[in-house]
A and B are shown apart, each in its own frame.
Chain A
């Protein structure tokens, strides 16, 4: 079990987080740039000392600012960190890189890991000859051979193409499951975080806003701010006290009026453009503009369009999520998100 309850003072704000990641569990940290996600990983890895708090891994206290004060140095933590730059040692071959860790077995285990990662043929090559995807596989293999007790991934696949990102994410997920180590991923893209994680943690301005199952967090954001971060681009007035709004996620909008599925909106199309395999339209509704992605081309600009926002989350005037009178539109919709507040 990886257990972190820390506060790190930064120039602009204090990063506060309390997280527990079980062996074999995959947690994704998601939030805007500069929210403190990397700082959290660096505290766990021992590269940054927290102002207050405690980090524990598998019963070992790695950092504690309370008596007895403890700080286990990075080389004794057995915590693997993979960043966007795979950080392969350029003066060592792939084999040399894989076997770098003191406990690395250059025999059977090396062959097994290299085989599992599909890099057996690259063992004699130098890092400069590797592609981005190959370099990441080698870096991952190096962490596996070093027998890390926890795996931290800091936007490791940024800059790689989508299919490579997907295959590497799946590979890491399989390896984490097989080794039963806690894993944390800092993700730049929500889809990547959702694909990887059992749980999603939303961090903003140093504060952990919500932790929960990915679909729970995305479909039932604990606050308007969380909703904005996970992609709700518009907010329209909703039933409830004055100031209550419903969040509109572009991908949870469907054409036509379907009262039983959500909130029906009628508006004027103010913009329309192709988006992936469908269309993205801007719709002016009661002075608010919402964006929706539709499978078919909507009405021409200036035309009227009726859409249904499927089971939207509602937020009170204070920005906190409020339950819809009568419950969710969808009987299977998630409820009771785990909200974190300190």
Chain B
């Protein structure tokens, strides 16, 4: 009896957590989705979000993976300082990140002027580049923390053994470290993807244009009301959630296969 009560209690909490998703699905009709998303340019915010999200992930992979690895292996001097820095950026409210980015990469800052001086006259406000920058800042700490944990989970003696068998460090990283950390890296990357897809606080300050999905939802809500914004909310969930869910499933499967 107490077992059944526990399950029922857990079910209530689980349903409460899923409440917003259930509310979304119960308040949407097929016709509302069709009318909101079939007009010319209606799917542009989706394409913008997908493109900026993909570039963001690439940036995280290339620049943040080595940082996470070095932090995990403790090869950096004053390791606690590095961790505190990442934690600090993780805890900054997104809106504050947006405000501070204006002072960092806005058009009248040295960095902004440097971007403008390039042959392409780049700007880090209200451009696709600005959207990517905002998404990177909102998602990077989540990736670094997750990737650091994934690398820390790889037994350094495995890497040592690979080296003794004749592999140079880069080859060890490719053949041993990366495959063993892959499940954790996949989860970290998918969480970063979800954060990038849903980035709003920093985006609204420095990248009001072009519209990604979160901003499209906000603008539609302001201009035409709640009902019109719901289809975009569904699209955002559909693009943001499957990757993390798949990554969690794959990660659990891979860990079971290796550890029994």
Which residues of A pack against B, CB within 8 Å? 45, 47, 73-81, 83, 85, 87, 89-91, 100-103, 126-129, 142-143, 146
Contacts of B160 in A (CB 8 A): 47, 74, 87
CA distance A79 to B260 in the complex (A): 31
Question: Are B166's CB and A45's CB within 8 A?
Answer: no
Q: Among B164, B166, B167, point to the contact of A81 (Cβ < 8 A).
A: B164
* Alpha-carbon distance between A87 and B167 when the two chains are bound, in angstroms: 15
Give Cα A238–Cα B123 distance, bound, in whole angstroms.
93
Contacting residues, chain B, for A129 (C-beta < 8 A): 260
Docked-complex contact B163 and A73, CB < 8 angstroms:
yes
Q: Across the interface, do A146 and B258 meet the contact criterion of CB distance under 8 Å?
A: no
User: Contacts A90-B180, A90-B258 known; A102 to B166 CB distance under 8 Å?
Assistant: yes
A127 to B179, CA, bound (A): 15
List B161-186 residues whose CB lies under 8 Å from chain A.
Answer: 161-169, 175-176, 179-180
Pairs A–B under 8 Å by Cβ, sample size 22: A45-B164, A74-B163, A77-B164, A80-B164, A81-B164, A83-B157, A85-B157, A89-B158, A89-B162, A90-B180, A90-B259, A91-B179, A91-B180, A100-B162, A100-B165, A100-B175, A101-B165, A102-B166, A126-B258, A127-B258, A129-B260, A143-B165
Given contacts A101-B165, A102-B166, 14 further A-B contacts (CB under 8 A): A75-B165, A75-B167, A75-B168, A75-B169, A87-B155, A87-B157, A89-B161, A89-B176, A90-B258, A102-B167, A103-B166, A126-B258, A142-B165, A146-B166
A75–B166 touching, CB < 8 Å:
yes
Instruction: Looking at the assembled complex, report how far the CB atom of B137 sits from the nearest CB atom of chain A, in whole angstroms.
Output: 33
Set of chain A residues within 8 Å of B258, measured between Cβ atoms? 90-91, 126-128
Docked pose: A267 CA to B57 CA in angstroms: 80
Number of residues on chain B facing chain A (CB within 8 A): 21
Query: In the assembly, what is the distance between CA of A76 and CA of B182, in Å?
Result: 27
Any A CB within 8 A of the CB of B121 = no
Q: How far is the CB of B154 from chain A (nearest CB, A)?
A: 10
Contact partners of B27 in chain A: CB under 8 A: none
Q: Which residues in B have their C-beta under 8 angstroms from that of A146?
A: 165-166
| Chain B residues with CB under 8 A of A91 | 179-180, 258
Residues of B with C-beta under 8 A to A100: 162, 165, 175
B173 CB to nearest A CB, Å: 12
The answer to whether B257 touches A126 (Cβ under 8 A) is yes
Task: Write the nearest CB–CB distance from A215 to chain B, whole angstroms.
Answer: 33
Residues B259 and A75 in contact, CB atoms below 8 Å apart: no
A residues less than 8 Å from B163 (CB atoms) = 73-75
Among residues of B, the one whose C-beta sits closest to the C-beta of A79 is B164
Within 8 A of A (CB), among B42-88: none
With most chain A CB atoms within 10 A of its CB, the pick from B158, B164, B168, B257 is B164
Specify which chain B residues have a CB less than 8 angstroms from the CB of A47 in the assembled complex. 160
B164 touches A74 (CB 8 A): yes
In the complex formed, the residue of A with least CB distance to B160 is A47
A267 to chain B, nearest CB (A): 50
How far does the Cβ of A234 sit from chain B's closest Cβ, in whole Å?
40
A87–B164 CA distance with the chains assembled, in angstroms: 12
> Closest B-chain residue to A85, C-beta based?
B157
B175 — which chain A residues lie within 8 A by C-beta? Answer: 100
